[in-house]
Amino acid sequence: MQLKKQTGFTLVEIAIVLVIVGLLIGGVLKGQEMITNAKLKRIESDNAGIAAAMFSYQDRYLQLPGDDSGAGTRFSVYSDAGGIGVEANGGGDGTIGDGTDWNADVTAASTWTDTNEETLKFFAHLRAAGLVPGGGEDGTRPTNAYGGQIGIQDGALQIAGHVTIFGSIEGPIAKILEARLDDNDPESGRIQADILTADMDGGGLLTSSQAGLGYLDNLRYNMAFRL
When pLDDT is averaged across residues 166-177 and rounded to a whole number, the result is: 90
57: left (phi over 0), alpha (psi -120 to 50) or beta: alpha
Q: What is the pLDDT of residue 67?
A: 92
Domain count across the chain: 1
Domain around 161: 61-226
CA distances from 110 to 25, 77, 177 (A): 49, 18, 32
Q: How confident is the model at residue 100 (pLDDT cuts 50, 70, 90)?
A: very low
Domain contains 93: yes
- Residue 30: inside a domain: no
Using pLDDT thresholds of 50, 70 and 90, give the confidence band for residue 107: very low
Tell me, yes or no, whether 20 lies in a domain: no
Q: What is the mean pLDDT of the chain?
A: 79
Please choose, from the candidates 151, 145, 148, the residue with its C-alpha nearest in 3D space to the C-alpha of residue 168. Answer: 148
Residue 68 has pLDDT above 90, yes or no: yes
Number of CB atoms found within 10 A of residue 114's CB: 14
Does residue 96 form part of some domain? yes
Residue 18: pLDDT band (50, 70, 90) is confident
13 in any annotated domain? no
Residue 205 belongs to a domain: yes
Whether 131 is covered by a domain: the verdict is yes
pLDDT at 21: 79
Within a domain: residue 26?
Answer: no
**SS3 (DSSP) at 222:** strand
CB contact at 8 A, 75 and 84: no
Whether pLDDT at 137 is above 80: yes
* The predicted structure's pLDDT at residue 195: 78
Residue range 24-32: mean pLDDT, rounded: 71
